[in-house]
Structure 1
Amino acid sequence: MDLRHLRYYVAVAEERHFGRAAERLHMAQPPLSQAIRQLEGELGVALLHRTTRRVDLTEAGRAYLERARAILAGVDEAAHLARRVADGVVGRLAIGCVGSATYSLLPALSRHLSAELPGIDFSFRGEMLAPDQAEALRDGTVDVAMLRPPAADPSLAAHLLRRDRLVVALPADHRLAARRRVRAADLAGADLIVHASNHRSVMYDVVLRVLREAGVEPRIRHEVSETSTLVTLVAGGLGAAVVPEPVTALTLPGVVYLPLVRPAATVDLAVAHRADRAEPHLLRTVEVIRRMTRPAAAARPPRDR
């Protein structure tokens, strides 16, 4: 018995006529009749009452028709699902986001992904530091990450999304808050709030490099893991912070954002996944993220003045 026999039987049972069933199946009547007799022989029961004019179903035939339809529908559904999986339009994915992307990109991204890939079940984890995201990618806790690229890691595949300018977040009553822009050298002696050190944050290394290249030895007062906490501490007057421009989406009373110049610096944002993963729904999601952020990828840092 194979699926072909089931399809043959359903056609005969629905048409109640071998000739019409043969036309529907685009085949000759004799092999159709032979196939139905073979099916009845394998089952050991009569499924049909045959007359010269029509075909009727036995009680066993009616029961068999109901189950045969369900089996064929299940097979068709399985084939449809397999094609959708192969096309990358169904599945489940967890996406991790670095702090600044959580506020500036995630709201629009979640809507965009839901609209373009409605068959994929997405979950999101925000406020993740880049090293934590890299580890989560390696152990499978997240499938895709939007992060500040760490040192080269052959186990991960990363694609640049955009380059974000650096800005300075200041308490509204800070001595620099009334300016139009801030030079890196102006932060000499200022209390600073930074993302966590000990190789846990890419931004920590970026900020220290920018300031030291300007001849400033940073005076770090607080280290935090979450960008929202960092901005909250700035609002509380506990210090200034150098952050990616998308952090300005966090508008809190008592915080002023100013461009950072001399040097004007940027930090990369990338989308990454494990290099050994190539599931269609994962790669399609990465492509949607890259396409969505492409217009911002050409952003240029402001000129020094």
Structure 2
Amino acid sequence: MTDVELYHLKTFVTVAEEKHLTRASERLFTSQPAISAHIKALEEELNLTLFDRTPKGMLLTAAGEQLLDRAQRTLAAAGDFLHHAKGMQNELLGSIRIGLNTDAEFLRLVELQAGLRAHYPQLDLEFMSGRTGNNIPALRVGKLDAAFVSGDCDEPLLDSHVLREEEMAVAVPNALRDQIASPDIPALARLPWVYTSPDCAYYQLMQPLFESHCCMPVKTMMADQEDAMRAMVAAGVGLGIMRRSDVEAAEREGRMHALPMKLPTISLRFAYLRKRANDPIIRAVLSELATIWGLEPVQQRQAV
């Protein structure tokens, strides 16, 4: 075991999680032959076969299953050691790339930037535009350090914290208002709609609403950004699902109105890799977010 390095364990764990050499190489930013070499070296050092190579991917053997938990705990302990050492520095140094999924005002980015600048002047902060469907895979492979996402976040590699529950509404263009006598689902499905992409929380809210009545709305176009959705609905292109606060603001301006119909809320979350839960930079951002959004401080995760 003296020749087993942390990078061997990291490769082992990543391949076990991804079950595929190509996806593991993407996460680790290295080549597939290098991944294969790491696994081979580890198996030779341990004198054990850790994976069965099958047409469906890399599947753990019984020996691999027994060692996976220990490898994960070893990496977590090493990560905690490094994070604790970083936290002992007088100044928090480094950078963080945060993926955005909507407008800056709604995410309170000005407050977040101001708080981090005041408390951690040496921290380099980058906001990267995007959407939930792009942010989650970008987190998984390390292209983002953290991200705002909407809806459920059941990705096992990520931790997420709910910042708020946002009320949603069906936004109706003024031009279509007279065609809607009541919020009847089959009748609404026959009207034109502005869609979002299937990986958007808004679409995931709309789909079961109509599928429960064995119908789906008429799609006129797709708009994956809130400002585009507002513009298309106001222009009469079709109905759309939007944040209720946005619909009511546009309604006061006479540009659209909210259908009198209650929809489930959608969670706004802040997400990051689970293994970085004790990273001082991540914890610094979480602390600022807790202050901005009036939340309880996030407790440090215990290594297991």
Q: Give TM-score scaled by structure 2 length.
A: 0.58
Please show how residues 84-99 of structure 1 align to structure 2 within 5 Å. 86=89, 89-99=92-102
1:123 CA drift (Å): 1.1
Q: Give TM-score scaled by structure 1 length.
A: 0.57
Mapped partners of 1:257, 1:89: distance in 2: 47
Q: Report Cα offsets for 1:104-153 as digits up to 9, x if no partner.
A: 12344333433444332211123x22121011112222211110145511
1:165 equivalent among 167, 177, 191: 167
Mapped partners of 1:176, 1:107: distance in 2: 40
**Cα pair distance change 1:244/1:88, threshold 3 Å:** farther
Q: Report Cα offsets for 1:229-248 as digits up to 9, x if no partner.
A: 22222222111111233545
The answer to whether the 8 A contact 1:191-1:219 is kept is yes
Indicate the residue corresponding to 1:57 in structure 2: none
Name the aligned partner's letter for residue 256 of structure 1.
Answer: M
**Cα pair distance change 1:218/1:276, threshold 3 Å:** same
**Cα pair distance change 1:259/1:172, threshold 3 Å:** closer
Mapped partners of 1:268, 1:260: distance in 2: 21
**Cα pair distance change 1:189/1:234, threshold 3 Å:** same
Indicate the residue corresponding to 1:234 in structure 2: 233
Mapped partners of 1:219, 1:211: distance in 2: 11
The answer to whether the 8 A contact 2:96-2:146 is kept is yes
**Cα pair distance change 1:216/1:112, threshold 3 Å:** farther
Indicate the residue corresponding to 1:219 in structure 2: 218
Mapped partners of 2:136, 2:229: distance in 1: 22
The answer to whether the 8 A contact 1:212-1:218 is kept is no
Q: Report Cα offsets for 1:144-170 as digits up to 9, x if no partner.
A: 111014551111111111110112223
1:273 CA drift (Å): 0.2
Indicate the residue corresponding to 2:74 in structure 1: none
Mapped partners of 2:99, 2:87: distance in 1: 25
The answer to whether the 8 A contact 1:90-1:120 is kept is yes
1:276 CA drift (Å): 1.2
Please show how residues 283-298 of structure 1 align to structure 2 within 5 Å. 283-294=283-294
Mapped partners of 1:238, 1:275: distance in 2: 41
Gaps of 5+ in 1: 1-81, 296-305
Mapped partners of 1:132, 1:205: distance in 2: 15
Aligned residue pairs total 208
Indicate the residue corresponding to 1:114 in structure 2: 117
**Cα pair distance change 1:145/1:190, threshold 3 Å:** same
**Cα pair distance change 1:112/1:273, threshold 3 Å:** same
Query: Which protein has the larger Cα radius of gyration, Structure 1 or Structure 2?
Result: 1
Indicate the residue corresponding to 2:140 in structure 1: 138
Gaps of 5+ in 2: 1-84, 296-304
Please show how residues 16-35 of structure 1 align to structure 2 within 5 Å. none
**Cα pair distance change 1:122/1:259, threshold 3 Å:** farther
**Cα pair distance change 1:137/1:230, threshold 3 Å:** same
Name the aligned partner's letter for residue 94 of structure 2.
Answer: G
Over aligned residues, Cα RMSD in angstroms? 3.4
The answer to whether the 8 A contact 1:104-1:246 is kept is no
Indicate the residue corresponding to 1:42 in structure 2: none
The answer to whether the 8 A contact 2:174-2:257 is kept is no
Greater displacement, 211-220 / 89-98:
211-220
Mapped partners of 1:113, 1:268: distance in 2: 24
**Cα pair distance change 1:173/1:111, threshold 3 Å:** farther
State, as a whole percentage, how many aligned pairs show the same letter. Answer: 20
Mapped partners of 1:249, 1:123: distance in 2: 32
